[in-house]
Structure 1
Amino acid sequence: MRDSNATVTKAAPPPGAAAFHLSINNPVVRAVLAQLGVALVVALVAWYLVGNTMDNLARLSIASGFGFLDREAGFQIGETLVEFGPQDNYATAFLVGILNTLKVSGVGILLATVLGVILGVARLSSNWLVARIAAFYVETVRNIPLLLQLFLWYGLLTEGLPGPRQALSPLPGVFLSNRGLKLPAPADDPIWAWVAAFFGLGVILTLIVAAWNAKRQAATGQRLSMLPIGLGLIIGLPLLVLLASGGGAIDMPVLQGFNFRGGMTLSPEFAALLFGLVIYTAAFIGEIVRSGILAVPKGQTEAATALGLTRGQLLRLVVLPQALRVIIPPTTSQYLNLTKNSSLAVAIGYPDFVSIANTTINQTGQAVEGVLAIMAAYLVISLSLSFLMNWYNSRVALVER
């Protein structure tokens, strides 16, 4: 028989489960209110700035919006990757500027990486002279402002080289003067499109073979040498196409009057910007590589040496693959710095995106829209580069089990 005096007790809440109370004393409620307050302040500041800007534009009778992009630009750009003339619109001019920025940034990242790895390895060299020269380079270049280095390179390339009539010609068809470096270029011949297509095909096939080779090594322990295979596919296929067609037409530079005609030009502005960015960024990458190599446990190198690996094999097969896990994250920051530092091109006359946007602002008066376009362009480029580097970092990161 059930006891009528028995009391019913509530079950205790599970460990770690706290009751939620809608009170200002609750830290969760206070945190939410604080975030809402900050968001409200930011929204009010943004509303004030936008409203003040629109009022000032209306008072000065300056039209707002991006409708000016469809208007004729009316200015010439000296260095372009696509066809552009004064009759084209501002949108096309912006495209030219973005492509010029991507060109110098892409080439600069590649060259700075190669030079940075060499510097990082050289700083750890057992040769006293090599290590001290690398250390002097790093400590000197890192402590001189990049803008001053750009002025130095630009002055050397424009004032330290002879004019076109006295141009240096180290190779047939190659001329170096204060107007830039003139090189032979592929002429308007359809065969070059086929060569480019087979070059891309060779790159794709090389990646496929490399992936298959990695799986084969994991399964059988046997690995094919990818260097001759890659060279054969990437260089051999386009070369076979070129030989089968009897060769393609070449546009050779020729001196006419006071300048060269034909070929392609590496302008002093582009060269000065590229040299400055590469030399400056490589000093930082070199220190990152050095720290990454030092982070590899000494027992790894001792074990590799005991197996009979040479110093080159030790560095390429044992040290660098493990050091990448330390090297990649800070190197990503240096890639982003190089891309953003390319905006200093405006100081030496290279037509990058900032330079072209400034010209557009001066002609149209659309300062707000021009600055917003610059910010958006560098934001997209930086986020895209960060995404690619983070993806690669996840591929080489050490996965814990």
Structure 2
Amino acid sequence: MNLDWSVFCKDTLTGEVAPRCFSFLFGMDPNADPTYLDWLISAWGWTIAVAGLSLVLAMVMGVVIGTMRTLPSKHLVNRLCIAGATAWVELFRNIPLLVQVFLWYHVVPAFFPIMKDFPSYLLVSIALGLFTSARIAEQVRAGIQSLPTGQRNAAIALGMTTTQSYRYVLLPMGMRIIIPPLTSECMNIVKNSSVAFAVSVPELTLFALQAQEETSRGIEIYLAVTGLYMVSAFTVNRIMVWIEKKTRVPGFIAANPSSAH
């Protein structure tokens, strides 16, 4: 098996080896055609962009929905919030991700015409973000419910409102507890961003499919793409591990979630 890594320095239009692999991407020669290495780095940027946007949406919605599922069920409004949050989780968790991407790309804009002007990467980010939010919501719910009931009772005894008890006591502790499973979810969102190829977002998977077809050098192309996915996911893992170490509460042991009620 002979590997030809020079394929990445080839011009994407002529197929000839370019004088500089990065001429187009970094503006060294504005008149140069992009090489496959230019295309690869650009695709990596799109992967990171889609994953980043999706993660922000997933974290915001996941924390809100997960918190709503742990509200005290004494009042009608709280019960409605719990029912709505549960429906959200079950809806987005039980529909395949690729189907959700197609729904947001083909179906939702038919009902909301303004979304027809949205770029495809934004629609994919919404689909991936909402899909992941349901999973994060369950982690947030489990984290809050794993806290000893004394923490909630102590907050109420100190005169805190429900909102204050969540803001100052329950959420800060609950979020610390769920960092390990949240790390896996953050890594998954990088890998799941590969579904963006289905709606022609020029990310890593689409690059691999098209570059392999044009160059017939599938081994080199897929090895490079696999390496970039691994680097991206591993970087996310190291960042989350660092956050876990910085936010860990010494000596704290979470209660069994089943005993939190």
The gaps in structure 2 that reach 5 residues or longer are: 15-24, 253-261
Q: Does 1:350 align with 2:194?
A: no
Q: Which residue of 31, 34, 42 corresponds with 1:88?
A: 34
- Post-superposition Cα deviations, 1:259-305, rounded to whole Å, max 9, x if no partner, equal xxxxxxxx1x1122111101100000000000000011111111111
Question: Which residue of the partner structure matches residue 177 of structure 2?
Answer: 326
1:156 has 2:102 as partner: no
2-structure distance, mates of 1:373, 1:85: 26
Which residue does 2:47 correspond to in 1?
A: 101
TM-score by length of 2: 0.84
- The corresponding residue for 1:303 is 154
Say whether the 8 Å CA contact 2:57–2:126 is kept in structure 1. no
Match of 1:272 in 2: 123
CA distance in 2, matches of 1:117, 1:85: 48
Structure 1 CA distance for aligned equivalents of residues 41 and 85 of structure 2: 39
Q: 2:164 is aligned with what amino acid?
A: Q
* Partners of 1:140 and 1:157 in 2: CA distance: 15
The verdict on how the C-alpha distance between 1:357 and 1:114 changes in structure 2, with shifts beyond 3 A counting, is same
Q: Confirm whether residue 65 of structure 1 aligns to residue 16 of structure 2.
A: no
What amino acid maps onto 2:8 in structure 1? L
Deviation, 1:341, is 0.5
Following superposition, the deviation at residue 159 of structure 1 comes to 4.5
Bigger strand fraction: 1
Q: Note if contact 1:332-1:386 (Cα within 8 Å) is conserved in structure 2.
A: yes
TM-score, normalised to structure 1, is 0.55
Question: Does the Cα contact within 8 Å between 1:157 and 1:272 map onto a contact in 2?
Answer: no
Identical-residue share of aligned pairs (%): 33
Which structure's relative contact order is higher, taking Cα pairs within 8 Å and 6+ residues apart?
2
User: Given that residues 146 and 277 in structure 1 are in contact (C-alpha distance below 8 angstroms), is that contact kept between their aligned partners in structure 2?
Assistant: yes
Q: Which residues in structure 2 correspond to 1:44-59 (within 5 Å)? A: 54=1
Question: Between Structure 1 and Structure 2, which shows a larger proportion of helix residues?
Answer: 2
Match of 2:68 in 1: 122
Whole-Å separation in 2 of the counterparts to 1:354 and 1:347? 9
Structure 1 distance, partners of 2:224, 2:12, is 16
Give the CA RMSD over aligned residues: 2.2
1:313 and 1:279, CA in 2 relative to 1: closer, same or farther beyond 3 A?
same
Distance, in Å, in 2 between the alignment partners of 1:291 and 1:89 is 48
Conserved 8 A contact 1:343-1:354: yes
Alpha-carbon distance, 1:399 to partner: 2.1
Partner in structure 2 of residue 141 of structure 1: 92
Distance in 2 (CA, whole Å) between partners of 1:353 and 1:291 is 34
Tell me which amino acid in the other structure corresponds to 2:41: L
Structure 1 unpaired stretches of 5+: 1-53, 55-62, 76-80, 163-175, 182-266
Give the structure with higher Rg (CA). Answer: 1
